[in-house]
Amino acid sequence: MSLAELICPAGTPAALRTAVDAGADAVYCGFQDATNARNFPGLNFTPEELEEAVAYAHARGAKVLLALNTYPPAGKVDLWRQAADSGARFGVDAFIVADMGVADYIARNHPGVRLHLSVQAAASSPEAIRYYAQHFGVKRVVLPRILTIPEIRKIRQEIPCEIETFIFGNHGLMVEGRCSLTNYLTGQSTNMDGVCSPASEVEYIRDEATGTMSSCLGGFTIDRFGPEEKAGYPTICKGRYTAPHRPEGYYAFEEPVSLNLSRLLPDLIGAGVHAFKIEGRQRSKAYVRSVVSAFRRAVDDIRAGRAANIEDLVALTEGQKQTQGAFETKKWR
Amino acid sequence: MTVEHGATLPPRPPGAGALARLASSMAQPILGRIARRVAARHASLFARLGAHQNTDYVIDPVELPFALHLRPDPQALLFRAVPRDALPAAGATIRGRFLMLLELLDAEVDGDAAFFSRDLEITGDTEAVVRLRNALDDVDGSIAEEAAAMFGPPGRAILGHLRRKYSDDAMPRGE
């Protein structure tokens, strides 16, 4: 049986402490800049906060993984190199990277620190994963959320590194690291600036007469929720659009729904998955506390040979709907 | 337990006229004391606000006869009760049931989940709201309990009563 490490999100030092106290085996986080894919206002860590957070986690037996999982624009690699140098100095346990140049820099300059391949690298084939493992010494790959469990089992048999899969949170299905939808509407890049639907470009407009709420990005309306409808994130991939053949409006790419693999944990362990990732660095301590605690108990139950009893987490899901997505079947919609 | 909340918020009470003005003026000294205490004990939260230290936030608890005006400038902190017919031009507005807003303040409720369920409405500058949320979420401990403790046992009793009332109101329907 794999170790089934629980990898948990932290957007602030308080969230990191919450995750560690709730039973995280490792916590992933980022700096307050474009070096990570959750470069959101008021979120993330200063260098001083990260140093303190590493000490807090290590004192309690938890690891800290530093996300450096965006792509440096040409000629601007210094920010990523400095972030890697700081992380290594503070004693982080691994770097989560997507860009080959960043991976190469860390492999050469900080060979004692593990490299994990971010989902932002979109490596979904044994050939791609082996390339990163062989050339940069990547020890773990975070797989995209587009693979079935039999496919994951097959990949595991053909690669020389560990596998981490998302088990809860955002159900992102675009080809991560290559999605330019935000850039198309706002001019800011998810992959280089670390901003998917930057808050500065988001506006919610309520119609008092009808009770509807419009969700807008960059001046474009991307969804309109009726008074009784649950809402989702203001991302283009989960927008609702009209088209000549669907004048009533429909979810053209994805629906506002969250991934929840709580019932598939034993199957994932059986497939050789080494670590379970909870998405949500942008979420609150309340989310971190609830989700990490629930999955901590579930993983411990499974390790002990007991049936896992997962709490109902649907109230925390996007659109208050959940799915097992491609992990269950590629026909999940 | 799955807690069902209403999909939409109830209509705003009038929040204007003599009653609203009286309630606002009665709340004002308490709010001022709370704001000064929180700012003094949690000075680090201002750094996460960045340029939005100068943003005018309107926090609109739908059951109260007034709204709240917050300008989180550490040099000139402003937190006051305002009748709804005298609100300032808001950079951002946050609207929800009073006790849910209190739970958000203390990170007992997840803001995104409250938004998904439509129990929380935000309008205006979304970045300002996100910064305020993240700044408050990085505070350890309960701001509500700190505020209640300032007023001794009566303060704690009132907070306890409000929380029980909220818990009862949020029980699943049909049970």
> Residue A27 in contact with residue A10, Cβ under 8 Å?
yes
pLDDT band at B126 (very low <50, low <70, confident <90, very high): very high
Encoding tokens for residue B77? 């902190």
Other Cβ atoms less than 10 A from the Cβ of B118: the count is: 23
Choose one of A222, A251, A280: the last residue of a domain: A251
Residues in chain B within 8 Å Cβ distance of A199: 126-127, 129-130
pLDDT at A82: 98
Q: Residues A273, A236: one domain? A: no
Q: Residues A131, A278: one domain? A: yes
Q: How many angstroms away from the CA of B130 is the closest CA of chain A?
A: 7
Choose one of A219, A251, A283: the last residue of a domain: A251
**What's the pLDDT tens digit per position in A128-150?**
999 999 999 999 999 999 999 99
User: What ipTM was assigned to the predicted interfaces of this complex?
Assistant: 0.93
The residue written with tokens 């000490």 in the block is A55
How remote is the C-alpha of A299 from its chain's centroid? Answer: 19
Residues in chain B within 8 Å Cβ distance of A231: 115-118
pLDDT band at B167 (very low <50, low <70, confident <90, very high): low
The more confident residue out of A276 and B141 is: A276
Q: Residues A25, A46: one domain? A: yes
pLDDT at A291: 97
Sign of CA dihedral A82, A83, A88, A89: positive
Residues in chain A within 8 Å Cβ distance of B132: 42
Q: Across residues B110-122, what is the average pLDDT?
A: 95
Residue A333 lies in a domain: no
> Can you give the CATH number for the domain in which A36 is found?
3.20.20.70
The three-class DSSP label of residue B7 is coil
Q: Which residue of B has its CA nearest to A310?
A: B1
**What's the pLDDT tens digit per position in A70-87?**
999 999 999 999 999 999
- Domains contained in chain A, number: 2
Residues 109-128 of B with CB under 8 A from A: 109-113, 115-118, 121-123, 125-127
Q: Do A315 and B140 touch (CB under 8 A)?
A: no
Determine the Cα–Cα distance for residues A160 and A167; give it in Å rounded to an integer: 22
Q: Do A42 and B8 touch (CB under 8 A)?
A: no
**What's the pLDDT tens digit per position in B39-93?**
888 888 999 999 999 999 999 999 889 999 999 999 999 999 999 999 999 999 9
Average pLDDT, chain B: 84
**What's the pLDDT tens digit per position in A163-197?**
999 999 998 887 888 899 999 999 999 999 999 99
Of B109, B130, B131, the CB nearest to A286: B109
Q: Residues A141, A211: one domain? A: no
Of A43, A202, A206, the CB nearest to B134: A43
pLDDT at B170: 55
Q: Residues A285, A267: one domain? A: yes
Residue B17: phi, psi to the nearest 5?
A: 90, -170
Q: Residues A66, A136: one domain? A: yes
Whether residue A44 is predicted with pLDDT greater than 50 in this model: the reply is yes
Q: Which residue of A has its CA nearest to B1?
A: A312
What range does the domain containing A192 cover? 181-251
Average pLDDT, chain A: 95
Q: How many angstroms away from the CA of A44 is the closest CA of chain B?
A: 9
Choose one of A251, A286, A305: the last residue of a domain: A251
Residue A151 lies in a domain: yes
Q: Residues A169, A189: one domain? A: no
Whether residue B4 is predicted with pLDDT greater than 50 in this model: the reply is no
Q: Do A40 and B8 touch (CB under 8 A)?
A: no
Q: Residues A187, A63: one domain? A: no
Q: Residues A211, A243: one domain? A: yes
Whether residue A158 is predicted with pLDDT greater than 90 in this model: the reply is yes
Q: Residues A265, A240: one domain? A: no
Q: Do B133 and A232 touch (CB under 8 A)?
A: no
pLDDT band at B168 (very low <50, low <70, confident <90, very high): low
A vs B: CB pairs below 8 A: 113
Q: Residues A277, A146: one domain? A: yes
Whether residue B169 is predicted with pLDDT greater than 70 in this model: the reply is no
**What's the pLDDT tens digit per position in B90-108?**
999 999 999 899 989 888 8
- What letter does residue A195 receive in the DSSP assignment? -
Q: Across residues B124-152, what is the average pLDDT?
A: 91
Residue B94: phi, psi to the nearest 5?
A: -120, 125
pLDDT band at B166 (very low <50, low <70, confident <90, very high): low
Q: Residues A322, A242: one domain? A: no
Q: Across residues A200-208, what is the average pLDDT?
A: 95
Q: Do B126 and A199 touch (CB under 8 A)?
A: yes
pLDDT band at A111 (very low <50, low <70, confident <90, very high): very high
pLDDT band at A110 (very low <50, low <70, confident <90, very high): very high
pLDDT at B19: 77
Q: Which residue of B has its CA nearest to A314?
A: B2
The residue written with tokens 């049986």 in the block is A1
Residues in chain A within 8 Å Cβ distance of B109: 284, 286
Domains parsed from chain B with CATH numbers: 17-141 (3.30.1050.10)
Whether residue B2 is predicted with pLDDT greater than 70 in this model: the reply is no
User: Among residues B115, B72, B65, B125, which one has the least CA distance to residue B95?
Assistant: B115
